[in-house]
Amino acid sequence: MQIREINIDRKYDCEHLLGKFLDESHADIMIENEAVNIYGPKGVGQTENDESNMICGLRPGVFSPEEIQEAYDGLKPGATETTNRSQSAGKDTSGIQHRRREIVTIDQLGIVDWMSKVGTSLTPITKKEISDQWAYIKGQIANGKKIPGVKNAENRGVTWQRKKMDDEGFLGTGLELLNKFIDGLDGKSNAEIAEEAQKFDKYYISATETAYPVLSGIGGFYGRYPRIPYCRTTLYSALDVKRWEKCLNYINKVDHYFKELLPTRYQNQKKVADSIDPELRIGDTAFTTITINNNFRTAAHRDAGDLKEGFGNLSCTGKGEWDGGYTVLPEYRVGVKLNPGDVLIMDVHQIHGNTAIREKNTGREAKFIGNKGNTEHAVDFERVSLVCYLRENMTECGSRAYEDLRKKYVQSRLEDKEHPEHKKYVHRSQMWNGVTAGMWEEDEWVDYLRKHGFDAEADELRPAVNTIDTLFA
- Sites of contact with Fe ion (CB under 5 A): 303
Rounded to whole angstroms, how far apart are CA atoms 19 and 336?
A: 19
We find the least distance from the C-beta atom of residue 298 to Fe ion, in angstroms, to be 6
**Virtual torsion, Cα 150, 153, 154, 155, nearest 10 deg:** -130
Nearest to Fe ion of 303, 365 (CB atom): 303
Whether the Cβ atoms of residue 386 and residue 316 lie closer than 8 Å to each other: yes
Nearest to Fe ion of 366, 387 (CB atom): 387
**Virtual torsion, Cα 277, 279, 285, 287, nearest 10 deg:** -80
Burial class (CB in 10 A: 0-12, 13-18, 19+), 44: exposed
Residue type, 198: Q
We find the least distance from the C-beta atom of residue 19 to Fe ion, in angstroms, to be 13
We find the least distance from the C-beta atom of residue 304 to Fe ion, in angstroms, to be 9
Nearest to Fe ion of 303, 382 (CB atom): 303
Rounded to whole angstroms, how far apart are CA atoms 333 and 218?
A: 29
Nearest to Fe ion of 165, 215 (CB atom): 215
We find the least distance from the C-beta atom of residue 329 to Fe ion, in angstroms, to be 11
We find the least distance from the C-beta atom of residue 387 to Fe ion, in angstroms, to be 6
Measured in degrees and rounded to the nearest 5, phi and psi for residue 418 equal: -85, -10
Rounded to whole angstroms, how far apart are CA atoms 239 and 267?
A: 31
We find the least distance from the C-beta atom of residue 352 to Fe ion, in angstroms, to be 6
Rounded to whole angstroms, how far apart are CA atoms 287 and 255?
A: 8
Residue type, 182: I
We find the least distance from the C-beta atom of residue 354 to Fe ion, in angstroms, to be 9
Whether the Cβ atoms of residue 396 and residue 378 lie closer than 8 Å to each other: no
Nearest to Fe ion of 107, 303 (CB atom): 303
We find the least distance from the C-beta atom of residue 11 to Fe ion, in angstroms, to be 18
Nearest to Fe ion of 161, 350 (CB atom): 350
Closest CB to Fe ion: residue number? 303
Measured in degrees and rounded to the nearest 5, phi and psi for residue 317 equal: -130, -175
Rounded to whole angstroms, how far apart are CA atoms 238 and 428?
A: 30
Residues 6+ apart with CB under 8 A from 239: none
Nearest to Fe ion of 150, 387 (CB atom): 387
Residues 6+ apart with CB under 8 A from 347: 54, 55, 56, 311, 312
Nearest to Fe ion of 130, 346 (CB atom): 346
We find the least distance from the C-beta atom of residue 243 to Fe ion, in angstroms, to be 25
Nearest to Fe ion of 70, 303 (CB atom): 303
